Structure 1
């Protein structure tokens, strides 16, 4: 009994519950368990995806026979064929015939862990994810050779997470189905090297004139360097860039043991002989600019297509002749011509596409000189200036910077029109300082300048580098009355069966500046050609334009428009060295005139709209009176009641009379006299001085800007000076 009672006492005591674990331990445990579960599910899903992808992959012989690229027929504005482009394939080289140095070069520069990873490089993937999260939020280009092969054969080049995931799955499947040597053989025979060349044999024949089996170490380094950016590093596009890229490849080869550092140091890439291309012309500058846009305009398609463009063959030929006939020896030239809706009518990116396919019309950035004053004067016009306003051409210093005019002479008091026509640097500096250099930069941005813009005082003379196509676009917007213009080169794309895959839709441009600003700057531009620095651009019909010359005659520009066609011309050396005698008012202006005579020959003559219709805030009181009958104006008494003028009920002291006879409710000219409480006459609509000025009785100095090209004061003959642009 005692024993049982003992058990009862023990069992009847208080029960002990297990101690509760801390929250962080429970959270950690849950995270680990859920993470493990999700990882397991992901691994299962990935394994299933790889399994089914591997089953659907074509066999090796089918992959060898498949071709990348597509046939593209490019047509001109009139439907004629400009050029036919398509993939160029050399001889298929089996793995044992591909030079070992070519394999080593490609692995060194594109995928140094190619032989150790399983299709996806985890370290490279981590770098890509880090870049996407911390940088521009896009997947970075860190694909393995196997991933690149998967993309080239089965996918497109869009940068998205979905495409990257599909690329990784296909790469893993390829690694399971084929050997490393087979994958490298496929890659080297299919990768794109630029200029339509697919595979190392086609690239070797195109760039060096011999089969890939004869590639040297230097040539292999150049070819391996092309994959990253075929058009930029192409030996025929930019020999210097190609050599610099080849040096990078040689360094990577030495680092990875493909060659010794000593061997890398003895290789001179500049000694490599580049084969000259045949059958190319200036049209290719345009096609090189327009065709890459198909990636954005078209859905994914691999079939043959026809691309209908805006290029006019006759205008293109005239543009080529104009550049060739006027460009100084040793210099390059570029031209872009736009229709009033932005259609590219002609494009020349250099003097010889065969020698250099670098497109200076769309890719080169150069200082525009005084052509930049377009934005300075538009900012001033928008701030309230008119072409007839008086300014003083005199020495000026802004934040320690003292600009000089051509010839270092000064004209004294002149009007804005004259200052622009003769490209007075001191006036541009004063206007830029008054409206604000940031305001000038904003105006340039508004009109389509995409390159960086500095806001130092000297920026008013065009020290910020720009592209020819961007400056031409800006002048085209002025020609369009201050409405934005978007350059385009493709009107439609059709499939082989005639199906329309893309059709350009005209979009009404945005209003960039008020009408009076566009009219005012057109007045100035027309005067610059009629009597100023752009006289060489005259073509026998109204032309508006502006010259530009940079310091030491490194760049010469002329940009202008007539009869709905806007054209920009640039000349200079690629190495930015001085070109003797080069100025915007000479060779570029003559090239502009030679081209425009052909471009507008069949177009009606168009007079420019230079009539200033100033906004209300810019009208002076006398101007406002001219807009209506003075008897229509009423006064307001102290109680807010309307009081017609002349009824004798005007409150005492409300409307003082001034010495010049004018009467008004607020401050005005003259000194107020003792209030007159008698019946007053209605205030005159305008003073005698204003009427004489408005009716022209006071001569050209009173011209309010309605007669463009008049009122130009005599100026000394301009001469070149390294200190300024004109």
Structure 2
């Protein structure tokens, strides 16, 4: 007989069931853990490589500077940034960021468990407004490597990279990177550019109050923007009425939901007692004191400074705009094929002199209204060249870059226009090269060239006269004869090109082979940019030695390494005697007509070689093609002392004729003279006389 099996007890049955559930749970947990491990491994393997030096290399803007190091303009890619070294960032700026963003920065591990738990409790359990738990390192990773999207995957990647970065770098290095990387709004990145944009000073000069303001921005740069609606803390209209009426008696009774915290605090009075509605910058200062970064006295002073704080104007500043955009064009050519340099914090040191640029702009602005009213010239341009170095020291491409109506953005220094009589010295240079001299005689008399009957600008004829006097008085007939004596068109184009006036030759090469300037070339019919006229006259002033005009002195990278220096070679293109003869003629005060002409073109206390020019257009023509009336189109003056050359043009970019008695002498010479006088008042000339020996 087989004995019956004893029935399992209830206890054993429960133990069995618990064991099954436990093993199942354990197996499930193991499987999930393994899957999680595989997932994290995949995430880890897909992380960006941050071990290379380029991984955290911040894109920097290109700074265009004048010769004194003042910033003219910044060429911004997507992020306007200038990277600083650690010793260039004041300690209180570092402390302010730590105080408000990550107070346990130096003590905590790579993941701040306390902050993470607090954020979870606030955001999920208490269902309160979102509170962040990102450390400085996590913010850096998110800004420099990842994206701002709010997903669990991104957060996991952020934590992994933050831990990897803290393993690789010291906390001080990470803080340096953060201060150079972080956004302050309006595509402003890094503490240096934020300091310059908001306060107009480098970061090294920041006060404690200013540092607190900057530290307030990274979390909500748009909301706390110094130029936005939340610059100061505000209250609801209902609360404002309660404060005004005295209904609200105690500050502690202010409902937080009726206060919109701004960047800066707002002073008010509650029951006639002064009270400060704190802004975020005040909160930063409070945390700095709590964490012993500043004393109570330092906080009190900074709080007082906040009440008097002023921000720099909210605008993109650009000094010498036409010059700056010309420099940009040159940069594009110099850096072509090397795209990495365009984001490496280049500093482009130009030749522009800030004082002379200011005087040039002021002179143009002062004369523009009367020039426009009297003569109808809507556009003006001026360029000044230091003849000792051939560096461009002042450059005004138009009277107002921001004048949309009258095409102010067009850079008339670079636009070819007919130079009129200001081209004549190059025609005489060709004649002198063929053996003629300033004392050679030429007859100023009626002539016929085919069907044409050229005439002098002022009419009449002077008969037999020296070439010196003919050029000083800008007689057309002698200039046409000098054109033929000098070898005609090709000879004149050759010498003009050698001196630096290449536009006429380039234009001819682009045209049909039958294209000829002919004898009108002697009267300045070939279009030339003002910058090339300045180059040609500078070559004469340098006694026939050509040296390219210079606008960029050097280009350095963000570390100060020199990447480009101009390679200029000088060459003699005409004999020194011819150049001296032309300078002697153009500076011969006694040969100039008496009265206004002589007075306007003579500078006090220094020699000046001067030539004006006027191009004309026919405004009344018969059916047969005969011109009955001419009006000025372009007015010029180019003049130089032993030290400085200044060239001025006035006219209309749209080629509208001028009116009144418009010519180079009446329109632009007064401006040219005023600029020289203003310059000499600030910087008296050292060299005052031309040396003709």
The TM-score, its normalising length taken from structure 1, stands at: 0.47
The TM-score, its normalising length taken from structure 2, stands at: 0.49
